[in-house]
Chains A and B, each alone.
Chain A
Amino acid sequence: MKPIDSLESAALSTAAGARAAALPLEELNPADPQGFVDDTVGHLFERLRREDPVHRSHSPVPGIDGYWSVTRYRDIMHVDTNHHIYSSEDGITLMDFPPGDEQKLPMFIAMDPPKHDEQRKAVNPIVAPANLQNWQSLIRERTGKVLDSLPRDETFNWVDKVSIELTTYMLATLFDFPLEDRRLLTYWSDIATANKLTNPDAPEPEVRMAGLRKMLEYFTRLWNERVNAPPRTDLISMLAHGPATRSMGAAELMGNLVLLIVGGNDTTRNSMTGGLLALHDHPQEMAKLRANPALIESLVPEIIRWQTPLAYMRRTALADAELGGKQIRKGDKLAMWYLSGNRDESAIPEADRFIVDRERPRQHLSFGFGIHRCVGNRLAELQLKILWEELLRRFERIEVVGAPTRIRSSFVRGFSHLPVRIPG
């Protein structure tokens, strides 16, 4: 199977590589979302890792301004594991204050200890391995139903019909959210991360806040039903009964819901699309996988590394510190570019290759490291594992018939469209 548009994308990539090499170092600004739309940001990172691994940039976008880019695996690990110096309290994206937000949403991913620890502990059990056993058959059944309903011999958008549908189903399951309303979760996830300043197509701030208020109303209703009922295993019930979370205020509830919805939606959704695209672009790897489906074990972490659905996390320095030979000042913000660290040859052998039977596939940065490491990592892996088991079992061929459309964001690295055809 010949990768579609390979000539066109190779030309684009060569041009972007030449551009990245020609620019003065101080002009390199990896947070510019254009590099994510055309998927050329990798050239910037390749140069930064080599020439200026801890790099000071200035973004023209108000609210982002000056920031450090941390591009090497080991420096990222250092920042991620030193939360006493590199704080999450000022937010996890480079934008200081989402425009139009009445207030910053409090959520545990953007908290430091001890509050972070208490709130995280309330959520941890639902996605713990023992609990995942209980979800497994339900995920498989729902995945099978979605795949069986896919059109045959006609082109459809994989993002919408597979990736969004499956992740939204999963979220609705976790929240015990009314299934018929499940696309509301997708909508809320999309508007929660939408940002007019970096994406002109994003909804107006008022529309966004109105949508989020609707979300809060909806969840408050579910919360009230469950707080008055005996504890159950869904996430809302766990939060409503958990000692650390039951007295959360409205803003904190909204913040943590946004966190769980985005965390469980945008991420796995884009790995579901990115995985298919990666296997399409590497037909020899697809052949290996078809010949030996047991490789799904290593395929799944390799997809998550390759896609890196969250390209970075932000930290803010609480004190002056030295990092990779650079002087970081108290109050400076840093982007730990997981996307770049995941391509760092000095930490990951043949990092620029997609290899389904990679030797240590789990040693990637996509889930972060340290106290903020992704709480839902095992659930994400389980969803991808089941998806690929069910796909390989059902379809002999899945054809990617055109180029993907990528999202205009340097934070969520993902897709809005991928045309796919499954021969009947």
Chain B
Amino acid sequence: MPRVTFNGFTGEARTVEVPVGTTLMRAATDNGVPGIDGDCGGNCACATCHVYVDPAWCGRLGARTATEEDMLNLAAEIRSNSRLACQIILTDALNGLVVSLPEAQH
């Protein structure tokens, strides 16, 4: 089971372990990690699961889709490592993934 670490905006970190195939968004919401809302339930239809991917991992996640690009426009403070967590599916290859949370979801 892949492990993933969420670094909160004010510094506190949470590491959770989830079954292969879980989205990064669900990994947070199912484990009560604060800071990820997931209002649309994982349809890439809002931007409330915005995360910043640790630069070391950016190359291993694949590219954003056009829809994800569209929806990221709704988020605050988009950076080159911004992703929507509902679009990242966790696999063993992503074991150890580290992401940081924005100040709040918009």
- Which A residues form the contact surface with B (CB < 8 A)? 77, 80-81, 113, 117, 120-121, 124-125, 127-130, 132, 360, 362-363, 367, 369-371, 373, 375, 377-378
Collect the chain A residues with CB atoms within 8 Å of residue B77's CB. 128, 130
Contact with A along B68-101 (1 / 0, CB 8 A): 0011011011000000000000000000000000
Partner of B73, one of A129, A360, A371: A371
CA distance A2 to B90 in the complex (A): 51
Instruction: Decide if B10 is an interface residue (CB 8 Å cutoff).
Output: no
Closest chain-B Cβ to A196's Cβ sits at a distance in Å of 35
Closest chain-A Cβ to B31's Cβ sits at a distance in Å of 15
Residue of A nearest to B70 (CB): A371
Offer 25 A-B interface pairs, CB within 8 angstroms, sorted by A.
A81-B44, A81-B45, A113-B70, A124-B73, A124-B74, A124-B76, A125-B76, A129-B103, A129-B104, A129-B105, A129-B106, A130-B76, A132-B104, A362-B38, A362-B39, A363-B39, A363-B41, A367-B39, A369-B40, A369-B46, A370-B70, A371-B70, A371-B73, A373-B47, A375-B74
CA distance A371 to B38 in the complex (A): 16
B37 and A362 within 8 A (CB): yes
B43 and A81 within 8 A (CB): yes
A80 and B45 within 8 A (CB): yes
B76 and A369 within 8 A (CB): no
Collect the chain A residues with CB atoms within 8 Å of residue B43's CB. 77, 81, 369
Q: A77-B40, A77-B43, A363-B40 are known contacts. Are A371 and B103 too (CB-CB below 8 A)?
A: no
B76 and A129 within 8 A (CB): yes
CA distance A373 to B43 in the complex (A): 13
Main secondary structure of the interface of B (DSSP, over half): loop
Closest chain-B Cβ to A37's Cβ sits at a distance in Å of 31
Residue of B nearest to A371 (CB): B70
Residue of A nearest to B74 (CB): A373
CA distance A363 to B43 in the complex (A): 11
CA distance A367 to B74 in the complex (A): 13
Collect the chain A residues with CB atoms within 8 Å of residue B105's CB. 129
Closest 4 CB pairs of A and B: A129-B104, A369-B45, A128-B76, A362-B39
A130 and B103 within 8 A (CB): yes
Collect the chain B residues with CB atoms within 8 Å of residue A375's CB. 74
CA distance A81 to B40 in the complex (A): 11
Residue of B nearest to A127 (CB): B106
CA distance A281 to B105 in the complex (A): 32
Closest chain-A Cβ to B2's Cβ sits at a distance in Å of 24
Contact with A along B57-73 (1 / 0, CB 8 A): 00000000001001101
Collect the chain B residues with CB atoms within 8 Å of residue A128's CB. 76-77, 106
